[in-house]
Amino acid sequence: MSPWRLFAVWLLAEGAWCASELKFPPGFKFGAATSAYQIEGAWNASGKSPSTWDTITHTRPHHIIDQSSGDIACDSYNQWKEDIKIASDLGLDFYRFSISWPRLLPTGFPDAINEDGRRYYDNLINGLLEMGIEPMVTMYHWDLPQRLQNLGGWANPKVVEWFEDYARVLYKLYGDRVKTWITINEPFSMCTLGYAMVAFSAGVTDQDVGTYLCIKNVVMAHSKAWRLYDRDFRNKFGGRVGIANQLFYLKPATKEDEEIASLGHEFFYGLYSHPMYSKEGGWPAGIERVIEQNSKKAGFARSRLPPFTDEEKEIARGAYDFYGFNYYSSRIIRRRGDEEDLLARSPFKNIRELNAILEVDPTWKKSSSFWFYVYPPGMRKLLSWVKDQYGDVEIVITENGYSSTGTELNDIDRIKYYRDHLEQVLLAIHKDKVNITGYTAWSLIDNFEWNEGYSTKFGLYEVNFNDPKRTRTARDSAKYYKNVIKTNDIEIPKSFNIISDEL
Ligand code: NOJ
């Protein structure tokens, strides 16, 4: 073979092409996302009952960096028409938002539907459809009715039934118009982070036991809500239901750390995915073994990870229509040295169950969020991880975005973040043949960033939190994203005048 031909074969095999020449395939959809507690405000308006986040912000404000709350947030409860307008200006194919469980069902149960809450989401959905934007609806984005938390929340197996009942109400009310449902947003954040960090929990921290009760209940709640749709609503409405996982790529520090990295992925996402997406179902075997051994060693009578009954395993297995994929950041993982302290309880710094340390590469740029370091290749690696684990499942990227202090409209770093991550998505599609059908920017607008309050901003649109109308103004990243959607070209137009090349 001539050297040129060899070179051409290498080029094709390695995918060493210029990603900027790659395009998103026909039918690929672009969207942007928000969630109820982070944007709606109106925390006690028109019959809404308090959620766990109302409780956290009102009773433990010291857990929020700036002691703020989502009481008013972006006032989207009143300004929802503005949100639709900017979603339409961007040219979005879909808008991902969440429904507040305590706004719709203030008792937590379907015995009383709050009419104002019902109407609010009805108007939002209809308004989007009128503008040609598909609603993608998250049923649960962390704002549990406080009453259900008082009854044990996600650690009580009854939550599976409570969630299924809530899902039934949603399908009945909105299923004729909502064709893409996400049951639960980032169970990793709810269970793995939530039960480990007091600042992120609904008042209960119990990393050793609570985390695993939460994980099992999330898996079953999602699966039962999926089965319900499949059985009673799919024929009528023809929609689809998935769950949105948050994934950190765990890069092995050395060759010897590859095994711990693979266990780390099983621990962080396998627990939330394997029961539904793997052929065999059930917990990922490696991590199931580790938790069982650790439990025994510590003197527990049984594994802290609750087992599935055969029936539960079958309910979960195959309970999905797509894989929702949230990606922001990565970590380097290594085994903890003998003499090393594992004092830091933060799940961003270690995985106690695995005796593993999580670190960051000093060359990774830090965003304005304490946990967020930029490593674009991690996104592609994880997209491939999902494919390697679960086959050719359809992946919808349900979140990706960058945080800054938000004072600037000329948000070059955010634009670069989007560009570099979209490039990884293109490479995953074209080179790794991962079946990705959509991409969602987080977030449409600046909003309440949980424990970081308003100190860090993710919006394509800036929100003026000093203005009672919470005016929204496009950042340059909004213009960039609009251009990507319009031209199917991820490169940053020359007119954006990028000088810094740090990212
Ligand atoms: C994931 C969560 O779903 C969202 O609520 C949060 O604001 C973003 N990540 C950024 O941290």
- What 3 state SS string does 440-460 have? EEECCECCCCHHHCCCCECCC
Q: Is the CB of 439 under 6 A from ligand 1?
A: no
Q: Is the CB of 37 under 6 A from ligand 1?
A: no
CB 95 within 8 A of CB 135: yes
Q: Which of 19-23, 92-96, 214-218, 431-435 has the lowest mean pLDDT?
A: 19-23
**Does the annotation mark 186 as catalytic?**
yes
Half-sphere exposure (Cβ direction) of 274: Cα atoms closer than 13 Å: 19
Q: Is the CB of 454 under 6 A from ligand 1?
A: no
Q: Is the CB of 186 under 6 A from ligand 1?
A: yes
Q: Which atom of ligand 1 is nearest to the CA of 449?
A: 7
Residue 179, Cβ density class (10 Å: 0-12 exposed, 13-18 middle, ≥19 buried): middle
Q: Angle at the Cα of 65 (from 59 to 71), degrees rounded to 5? A: 50
pLDDT of residue 297: 97
Residue 501 binned pLDDT confidence (cut-offs 50, 70, 90):
very low
Q: Which atom of ligand 1 is nearest to the CA of 450?
A: 7
**Does the annotation mark 259 as catalytic?**
no
Per residue in 187-217, pLDDT (tens digit) is: 999 999 999 987 777 889 999 999 999 999 9
Q: Is the CB of 399 under 6 A from ligand 1?
A: yes
pLDDT of residue 8: 52
Domains of the chain: 22-487 (3.20.20.80)
Q: Which atom of ligand 1 is nearest to the CA of 244?
A: 3
Q: How far is the CA of 222 from the centre of ligand 1 (A)?
A: 19
Q: Is the CB of 154 under 6 A from ligand 1?
A: no
pLDDT of residue 342: 65
Which one is catalytic: 82, 186, 312, 353? Answer: 186
- Rounded to whole angstroms, the Cα distance separating 447 from 16 reads 39
Q: How far is the CA of 447 from the centre of ligand 1 (A)?
A: 10
pLDDT at 344 over 90: no
Extract the tokens encoding 359.
């670190």
pLDDT at 270 over 80: yes
Torsion angles phi and psi, residue 197, rounded to 5: -115, 120
To test the pocket of ligand 1, the residue of 186, 348, 447 to mutate (highest count of ligand atoms within 8 Å of its CB) is 186
pLDDT at 333 over 70: yes
To test the pocket of ligand 1, the residue of 53, 458, 463 to mutate (highest count of ligand atoms within 8 Å of its CB) is 458
pLDDT at 257 over 60: yes
Q: Which atom of ligand 1 is nearest to the CA of 458?
A: 10
pLDDT at 327 over 70: yes
Residue 500 binned pLDDT confidence (cut-offs 50, 70, 90):
very low
